[in-house]
A and B are shown apart, each in its own frame.
Chain A
Amino acid sequence: MKELTLLEQMILAAIIALKENAYGVTIRKRVAKMTGRRLMYGTLYNALDQLTRKGYVTKTKGTSSSARGGRPRIYYALTSEGMSALRASYNLHCAIWESLPGFRGD
């Protein structure tokens, strides 16, 4: 299994945190809140497409509203493969940083 890129990790983490409410706008905001990075929608969706293709996330179509110009929301959720891939990344990070406690700066 290939390791997740940083961007993918951010997005997957955001989706988990958002639970039922993970769609484009909220994911983007969540990522910005977590990491301070403002993604372009193009970047975000390229990554989401990639994750879908790998089978890490699933999509469900929500209801459309006039605020969205009649376009339905598309909600994302992690699959179990997604979950284990993210966990693998987490474990890897922990393994790297465990040996250096107190490395975190401000």
Chain B
Amino acid sequence: MARSKGRPPKLGQKLLSFLAHYEWEYSVSGDCSEEFRERVMEEGRSRALLWYWGQVIFSLATYSKLSASIGVAMLKNYLKITWRNIRNNKIYSFINIMGLAVGMATCILILLWVQDELSYDKFHENYSDIYMTIPELQGTKYYSNPLALAAVFKGQYPEVRQITRFCSRFWLMKYGDRIYNERGALVDDDFLKIFTFPLIEGTPETVFASRESIVLTERAAAKFFGSQNPIGKSLLIDNDNELIVTGILKDIPKNSHLQFDFLASMRLMGERGDTSWSYEARTYALLEKNVSLQDFADKISGFVMEHDKRTNQRVILHIQPLSKVHLYSLNGTDPILYVYIFLTIAIAILIIACINFVNLTTARSNTRAKEIGMRKVVGAERADIVRQFIGESFILSALAFLVAMGLVYLFLPAFNRIAEKQLTLNIAGNGSTLFFLAGIILFTGLASGSYPAFMLSSFRPTNILRRGKLQSGSGGFVLRKILVVSQFTATIVLIIGTIVMYKQLNFIRNKDIGLDRDRVVVISMNTEIREAYKAFKNEIKQNPNVINVTAARRIPTNIGHMNPVYWQGKGPEDYVTMTDASVDYDYFETLGMQIIQGRSFSEEYATDVENYVLNEEALRMTGLESPIGKMFSCWEDEGKIIGIVKNFHTSSLHSEIGPVIFTLSQRHGSHSYIFVKISPNDISGTISYLEKKAGEFAPNNLFEYTFLDDEFNRQYGNDQRRGEIYKYFTFLAIFISCLGLFGMASFTAEQRTKEIGIRKVLGASLADIIALISKDFVVLLFVSNVIAWPIAYYLMNRLLNNYAYRTSIAVWVFIVAGMMAVFIALFTVCLKIVRAALSNPVNSLRYE
């Protein structure tokens, strides 16, 4: 140990021997090592290290051969000049550094977000070998698999090492007087061997030894038991099962697609769990390492059809790797699209910031012309000048980076709130973070420094020194115009994008979806209320603020399962499935759905228990001319069609309306939710009334409710979050662009001080002068608009195509976005010019 303690850092030794020629290497490195050893003994390793690195850096810097070749003296001069330039031109330096810093900060935030999105589920040790089985019915894929699939599956295919099901829902959990609704999952015994969710208490082999086991997360355990030891305690689940805590899990990481508060054994489901072919369980298989996926996929594709003998339904079984769960969707648009969109925005914003730098530096090249001329006269090569200016831009980008890091620390909490993430900027512990941060500095330094460097270094010293300044209209002029145009093109595209996304979100929220989701309270039923439902319904209907009451198995956003159906006149070999929704009387009335043919369910007809109501889409699929009274069945349950309900949206507007059939839930099982339509008077009073009544009917349970419109809006949570993030990025892009414009305007005003003065003397008004200078900018902005519109139109069209129901891209959007850009830009320009134009011409003519 003592030996390694006394050894100086390897990197330091390497540096010394790498850069110095051999004698130096021997002596300096040897001497430093020797003295380092002594110092470790005397003053401890950390101070010795400090000393050692000081020696290394200084020795390298003063080493005469090396120092001559990189020109330490010259570097000092460059640094000094850079510093003077920053100090003497505070506005430009501020604009440059601020612009770059904001650009970098945005970029870092977006990259952190992307990194988090890409990190999902990667913490599982078996990450690359875990696959999900995915059944496909009628062209639609589902995560839910038949319950009985897993057991048969494992026995049949040797490629499967382990398999587990995962059935998750909310359960009512009770310990003493503590009652909570928690999200829990029934899983097979191998679950914790397949997935890496570390246990604090218990082992993956034993936690599910008995049927009555439950494994809690740390968070859930603390909620129920506080500081007591939870192991061996018993919890009452759904007022039904008494389960013993056998293990404690570390809290589930945010970047896991599986989220739950507890796990219990699949055996709780009883025999049904192993024999039912009902689609209720996600199924995860751990495959052997060297399985040919293609062969395996071919082998299993007919598995369900082979084993599920009930129908001749066409089910194709697929496998999907765990890596695709988060960023790819089964049907429709893959969320990874948004990762790409955001990455593009990040780069665009950084480029906009770099453009500011290029513009300002080239525009102000006049002021540096003499310096460059002098340097060339005294012998600077072109390469030296290039190096100087690239170095300068690196220094500025490093400064900007420091500011950017400050901004990121400042705004990370706010960003986390908007994006609903828990991102941290963990630089030290994360190699890839370090890598991309360094990449950002490098990119910014090079992108913003190279053009000015090459342009400035091309000046001819004789021209510069004879005239004292550069000819106006030199090469950078056209380029600056192009850059301003591209900058504003990007900004306008972003503005149009923001408006369109907002328009789409509003469209979704306000679209007539065929049912009235306002003021509908959704109460989750528990066993007690379920038993007393009829009485409860009659009781609360007494309240004048309760307009109507109904119940259903599911919430309309997830209205039912797909099931095979038959109808009078259907060909026997066609296999058709429709979504089967079981509801109570008054369902259509309470939810404001319109019956367009026939009638809705009624208690006056006892046979309605067997009858069906179809939606328009279902009717279209049957092709029946006069449907009322026709025979219809789902599975083997025969009945008659009694009514047709107008089409309504169930799932999000990303997808089309599907065929839905309604039956009364009395036929099979029971309801899970009560829907109460309430009047707009005294909403909170009505809710507490409902809570009081529910408490009377179900004293042992929790009263939990949501509003139906919230349930619908929740489907657009992701869209909303993305829209929100996108909006802020657009603001930033506008800000950075305007910063650059402000700089350009200041520069123009400064350049034309004399001209403005003379014009004023000759009688020009303030408006004339503003018009004169802003004219150039306005032309550029119009050009930007013309370029931006078709690009934005194309991109937005592609984006909106992800929604089955989309808003139009109206012309006004483009006009508004264009005008906005022009006004903001003009305002920025005027801010500067007005001052120049108002100043006394005497002063401006005396200027210089």
Contact = CB atoms under 8 A, between A and B. Distances in A.
Nearest to B33: A69
Given A67-B37, A69-B8, A72-B26, A28 B31 contact: yes
Contacts of B25: 71
B30 interface: yes
Contacts of B62: 40, 42-43, 46
Given A49-B64, A69-B13, A74-B23, A24 B59 contact: no
Interface string B4-25: 0011100001000000000111
A73 B6 CA distance: 18
A93 interface: no
Q: Is the interface of B mostly helix, strand, loop or mixed?
A: helix
Given A24-B28, A69-B13, A42 B33 contact: no
Contact of B31 (A25, A43, A46, A64): A25
Contacts of B26: 61, 71-72, 74
A28 B29 CA distance: 14
A42 B34 CA distance: 15
B9 to A, nearest CB: 11
Contact of A74 (B27, B32, B35, B54): B27
Contact of B55 (A40, A59, A64): A40
B30 A24 contact: yes
B58 interface: yes
B29 A69 contact: yes
B32 A73 contact: no
B520 to A, nearest CB: 78
Contact of A23 (B7, B31, B59, B64): B31
Nearest to B23: A74
B766 interface: no
Size class of the contact patch on chain B? 20 to 34
B25 to A, nearest CB: 8
B4 to A, nearest CB: 12
A87 to B, nearest CB: 27
Interface string B23-65: 1111111111111010000000000000000110011111110
Nearest to B10: A69
B61 A69 contact: no
Interface residues of A, number: 21
A23 B23 CA distance: 13
Given A40-B58, A42-B59, A42-B61, A68 B28 contact: no
Interface string A47-73: 001000000000101001001110111
B59 A68 contact: no
B41 to A, nearest CB: 12
B12 to A, nearest CB: 10
Contacts of A73: 27, 30
Nearest to B3: A66
B59 A40 contact: yes
A23 B24 CA distance: 13
A45 interface: yes
A43 B63 CA distance: 8
A60 to B, nearest CB: 12
Contacts of B59: 40-42, 45
A45 B32 CA distance: 12
Listed residue (B25, B32, B61) with the most chain A CB atoms within 10 angstroms of its CB = B32
Contacts of A43: 58, 62
Contacts of B61: 42
Contact of A71 (B33, B37, B54, B63): B33
Query: Which of B29, B31, B33, B59: most chain A CB closer than 10 A?
Result: B31
A72 B58 contact: no
A21 B635 CA distance: 102
A25 B35 CA distance: 7
B63 A68 contact: no
A9 to B, nearest CB: 19
A41 B32 contact: yes
Contacts of A40: 54-55, 58-59, 62
B14 to A, nearest CB: 11
B24 A45 contact: yes
Interface string B663-703: 00000000000000000000000000000000000000000
A64 B61 CA distance: 26
A46 B28 CA distance: 11
A68 B58 contact: no
Contacts of B30: 24, 64, 68-69, 71-74
Contacts of B63: 42, 45-46
A46 B64 contact: yes
A42 B60 contact: yes
Given A42-B61, A43-B62, A71 B29 contact: yes
Contacts of B23: 59, 74
Contacts of B64: 46, 49
A68 B54 CA distance: 18
B425 to A, nearest CB: 36
Contacts of B13: 69
Given A49-B64, A67-B37, A74-B23, A42 B29 contact: no
B35 to A, nearest CB: 5
15 contacts: A24-B27, A41-B28, A41-B31, A41-B55, A41-B58, A42-B60, A46-B64, A61-B26, A67-B34, A69-B7, A69-B13, A71-B25, A71-B30, A73-B30, A74-B27
Interface pairs A-B: 4 shortest CB-CB: A71-B30, A24-B31, A42-B59, A42-B62
Given A42-B28, A42-B59, 12 more contacts: A28-B31, A40-B55, A42-B61, A42-B63, A45-B59, A46-B63, A68-B33, A69-B13, A69-B33, A71-B26, A73-B30, A74-B23
Interface of B: 6-8, 13, 23-35, 37, 54-55, 58-64
